[in-house]
Structure 1
Amino acid sequence: MDAGGYLDELQLQGRLLRSSAHQCPLSAAVPSCPGWTVARLLGHVTRVHRWAVSILRGGRPDAFQFSPPEDEAELFDAYDAGLAQLLDQLLATPDRAAIWTITPAASAKLFWARRLAHETAIHRVDAQLAAGFGVQGFEPAFAVDGIEELLTGSGAARFDRSRLPGERSISLTPLDSNASWTLLVGPQLLSCRPQAVDDADLSVFGLASDLYCWAWNRAGTEEVSLRGDLALADLWRQDFRVNARAQSA
């Protein structure tokens, strides 16, 4: 996807997140983020959007400060303003701007457009799970990109591998795409290779949208098919840190 495609997704997912959050009390629990309420979810996404704007404007990532308002109307207004600022700033950012990124990237603009599109998309799922009216699926191409962004970026490092007895392999295969991956994990190992292998310790299959949500711990095992060492799937579900960073999903 190009930056324009990510911006379209960011706008869409941001709108869906807002409408879903509006369908339930701000005090409602978010089942996919234990201990969170919808208010905390909305405040978190608002903070992430504004944090990214600060970085895109040349700010230091560790120097940003923002406290979401507690009043419901003000919180939604702050969310709307933050999303609008982010979209405008991404549009205005040159492709080759020298801006800090979480991981090395050829284009900071593309990196942040991609990162924020998927950040917002995953939290849109959280809002819909909290509202309880069902989760809207993702387009396969966007979901495949999201799985790849998770596995090849910094996301896989969220998996606490300390309890693994040794090196293990996890393959993920979206059934509606030609893409697949094998994640190699161990107490001292973390790498991702393109293409699934037949002898992976755990193989996970599903439609791209379901697999995307499963990888982010937003879908259960009933929404995908598992083959191999099911204890690995349990470890992923238990030890994948949803909130490893203050400004990340």
Structure 2
Amino acid sequence: MNALEVLRREADLLAMSALGQPPHKGVPACPGLNLGETVRHVGSGCHWTLEYIRLGHQPREWQRHPADGQDPLDFMRSAAEAVIEELAAHDEDEPCATWWPRQQNYGFWRRRLAHETTVHRMDVQGAAGMEAGPVDDEVALDGVDEVLTLWLGHKLDTLGVRGSRDEFVAVRVEDRMWLTRCGPQGASAWQVEPEDAEHADALVTANPMTMYRWLWGRLPDRLIEVYGDHDAIAQLWALLRLATK
């Protein structure tokens, strides 16, 4: 997956999908979120990332807002262009400060913003009354890995959130398998061979784009196949919502 190309494409698609749309339109998959706020959020995230890279550490403030009189869509476009230019100027393996200890390079930010923009592009399309445009299988599979290993396996721990029961849930997408463990000891996720997940408490499976969207809380359970302990799946779902909030 060329994350930088994904980021460029998705930023353009998001902008085109938002063009001419009333900002108050709600995002169906995220009650309480509207189109205008989603566009601003993506722009804010791009500005924040650019500042993180340039400072070499996490900025004090997260939220960024358009300047007085600036159109939110222009704010988002200019922010995306600026961060893409910065990322393109560095090799993905070049060292760079990030918030994930396991990956301290520019490749982290390319991947992170590629998925952030892809998920919110689909949000904007939903708010605009459009069908969510497709996500390449390679991108969706990488997105499944990111949400499980980065958000569930790392971000949740930084928040100090724990599950109540020690449960294993396998996540299968085509011929790839991840095993998640959630409970009082914390949460973790890693890729495994199918036979290594045979004794999991539950299994969820779907095609790449469906699983990608489900893990990000954008699709209901009825659109994936579930087997085994539904309470274990419910715990995984609840913890993912806290991790990706």
What residue number does 1:167 align with?
A: 166
In the TM superposition, residue 214 of structure 1 has moved relative to its aligned partner by 0.8
Deviation for aligned residue 1:158: 4.1
Give, in whole Å, the separation in 1 of the partners of 2:238 and 2:149. 21
- The 2-side partners of 1:18 and 1:93 are apart by 25
Aligned-pair identity (%): 26
Question: In 2, distance between residues paired with 1:137 and 1:97?
Answer: 31
The answer as to 2:227 corresponding to 1:227 is yes
- Aligned-pair CA distance for 1:31: 2.9
Is the 2:172–2:204 contact (alpha carbons within 8 Å) kept by the matching residues of 1?
A: yes
Structure 2: how far apart are the matches of 1:130 and 1:237?
Answer: 23
Residue 241 in 1 paired to residue 241 in 2?
yes
Equivalence for 1:216: 216
* TM-score (structure 1 length as normaliser): 0.84
Offset of 1:125 from its aligned partner?
Answer: 1.9
The residue number in structure 2 matching 1:122 is: 119
Q: 1:162 and 1:59, CA in 2 relative to 1: closer, same or farther beyond 3 A?
A: closer
- Aligned partner of 2:202 in structure 1 is 202
The CA RMSD over aligned residues, in Å, is: 2.6
Q: 2:100 aligns with which of 100, 103, 124?
A: 103
Structure 1 pair 72–237 and aligned structure 2 pair: CA distance change class (3 A)? farther
Evaluate the alpha carbon distance shift between residue 8 and residue 186 of structure 1 in structure 2; reply closer, same or farther with a 3 A threshold.
same
Conservation of the 8 A alpha-carbon contact between 1:216 and 1:242: no
How far apart, in 2, do the equivalents of 1:72 and 1:124 lie? 24
Partner of 2:74: 77
- Cα pair 2:168 2:181 within 8 Å, conserved: yes
Assess, with a 3 A threshold, how the Cα gap between structure 1 residues 63 and 13 changes in structure 2: closer, same or farther. Answer: same
SS in 2 for 1:193: strand
**Cα pair distance change 1:183/1:236, threshold 3 Å:** closer
The structure 2 residue matched to 1:60, chosen from 33, 53, 57, is 57
2:223 partner amino acid: E
Unpaired stretches in structure 1, ≥5 consecutive residues: none
Deviation at 1:241, TM superposition (A): 2.8
Identify unmatched segments of 5+ residues in structure 2: none
* Paired amino acid for 1:99: C
CA contact (8 A) 1:49 1:82 kept: yes
Q: Give the superposition deviation at 1:191.
A: 1.7
Alignment partners' CA distance in 2, 1:23 and 1:236: 38
2:188 aligned with 1:191: yes
Distance across 1 between alignment mates of 2:115 and 2:89: 20
Q: Which moved more, 1:155-164 or 1:108-117?
A: 155-164
Q: Output one character per residue of 1:151-196: Cα deviation in whole Å (capped at 9) or x when no partner.
A: 11134444996453x2101111112xx3210001112232223224
Q: Deviations over 1:30-74 (max 9, x none)?
A: 233332221111111101011111222235322356632388961
Inter-CA distance 230–137: structure 2 relative to 1 (3 Å threshold): farther
Residue 35 of structure 2: which of 34, 38, 44 is its match?
38
Corresponding pairs, count = 239
Give me the TM-score of the superposition, normalised by structure 2: 0.86
Q: Summarize the Cα distance change of 1:168–1:57 in structure 2 as closer, same or farther, 3 Å threshold.
A: same
Aligned pair partner of 1:12 in 9, 13, 17: 9
Indicate the larger mover: 233-242 or 94-103: 233-242
Deviation at 1:23, TM superposition (A): 5.9
